[in-house]
Each structure stands twice: as C-alpha cells, then as structure tokens.
Amino acid sequence: MSQYNYKDICHKVIKLTEEVGHFIATERQNFDDSKIEYKGLNDLVSYVDKTAEKKIVEGLESIMPEAGFIGEEGTNRSSSNGLKWIIDPLDGTTNFIHGIPIFSISIGLVSETDYCLGVVREVNLDECFYAWKDGGAFLNGSPIHVSRQTELKSGLIATGFPYYDFEKMPQYMNILMGMMEGCHGVRRLGSAAVDLAYVACGRLEGFFEYNLNAWDVAAGAIIVKEAGGVVSTFSNNPSYIEDREIIAAPPSIHKEMQSVIYKKWNS
C-alpha cells in the first residue's frame, strides 16, 4: 500500500495543467516565430516550452517536494524515495509554432517499479485526460475506456514520422504500408501524448512510434493502461520507455499490430 494518495495528487496536477495550459494558449495568440530555437535537426523549442516547464516544476515541487524530475527542457533531479515526475511541457512544439491546434502538456509520475499517475491536457480543446494507479482513466471527469473494436481492420491508427533519425526509414515504411492495407487509415497528429490519450478514450484503436523519449509517452501510457489498453515495445516487452518504441491499443488489436510491426521492423 502506497503512502501517497495518488487520486488527490492527480487532481492537484490537473489544476496545475489548467493554469499552464492557459499560459500556453495565451502565448500562441501572439507568438513571435523569430524566437524559435533549434536543439537539433528539426527539433524546435521556444521560450513557451521553457517557461511552461519552469511553471510546471515549481507547481509540482509544491505538491510533492521529495520527488525527482525528468523534463524535456532540461530539468533533471534524482530523489531519495524513487519517485520522479516525467514532464513534457509542450508536446507538439512544431504544431504549436506553425499554429496547428494539436499540442499538449504531459505529466507522469512513476516509481522505480511502477507507474503512479498521468495527466495529459490537450490545450486547444481544453481536454484533460488523466489516470492514477488502479483508479481508472478519465476525460474531464468522465470515465473513459479503450475502443471496443476487436479487429485491426475496423480501427483507425496513429503514428509519428521520423524527423531527424532516418536510419530505419525502410522498415518504418514497410510497417506503414502494412498498417494502411490493414485498417481504416493512419493518422499523424504530431503529439504522442495526444495520440495515447485518444487511444485511451477510444477515438483511435492504436498508436505506434519509435525513437521516442520518456516524456513523450510516460503520462499517456499510464492513461491507456488504466483505460484497459495494452502498452509494449515492438517486440512485446514492457520496456517501452527504455527501448524508445511503443505500441498502445486494446488487447486484441495490440496483438495484431504487434505481429505486423515486429515482422516488418526486423525484416
């Protein structure tokens, strides 16, 4: 039994994302693209990402000062209790910069051995997806569940495209072809956290991507699991954060996706 009330902590995090989401939405209205910076090839960042992370870290420190941090914009701190916040202050920065309305805040809390809670707020529609360990998954207060579809051929799938590491493009294109031939369609929304949240609430039947970071998937994966979905690597292992590849879907569709992806990824 944990000494922490994750439900209570989760609701405090939800409130924090509401405040930071308002900041991000306000800045988008008057965003100056001359302030864009490059962290690497096609890897964009702005003062909005950095300021949002600072606000999130300050808020989380007041909620749970003993926890550590892993943040996309450089916040990194260990903890004595094994708990750490994994933060993407603005998942979908490229969408944000170009004025495409799909970007989000992603905050996950994990221990050394398990997940604790996750919150993903899609800023434009002001939709907050969240879950805590053994508590179920929710969207703006209402319970959510992964799609009831049982076959890939009846599903809509999301993925992400490589934007700097193109070494495995042939395998990826083979996977993409297999998915396009086997489902209703494939979408690329531009925010892995939103992709996972949409799997959790049944808007998408599945999501897969490779070369992701912990902050891209930590919160969303928790929500998918609590919504009844399965999350794994391409080889069906649970180490999706460490291996930087992920499949998330309802159980039966996950099995189909994993079969298609694994064969083509290793061909």
Give pLDDT tens digits for 83-109. Answer: 999 999 999 998 998 899 999 999 999
Tell me, yes or no, whether 41 and 139 share the same domain: yes
- Residue 88 known to bind ligand: yes
User: Is the pLDDT confidence value at 198 over 80?
Assistant: yes
In this predicted model, what pLDDT tens digit does every residue of 246-257 receive, in sequence order? 999 999 999 999
Confirm or deny that 243 is annotated as ligand binding.
no
- Residue 43 is labelled as binding a ligand: no
- Let me know if residue 157 belongs to a domain: yes
Provide the pLDDT confidence category of residue 157 given band limits of 50, 70 and 90: very high
Among candidate residues 113, 144, 175, the one where a domain is terminated: 144
Tens of pLDDT, residue by residue over 217-240, are 999 999 999 999 999 999 999 999
CATH of the domain at 249: 3.40.190.80
Residue 66 belongs to a domain: yes
For residues 104 and 121, is the Cβ–Cβ distance under 8 A? yes
Q: Is 72 annotated as a binding residue?
A: yes
Per-residue pLDDT reduced to its tens digit, 114-140: 999 999 999 999 999 999 999 999 999
Q: What is the pLDDT of residues 12-49, one digit of tens each?
A: 999 999 999 999 999 899 887 767 776 555 455 688 88
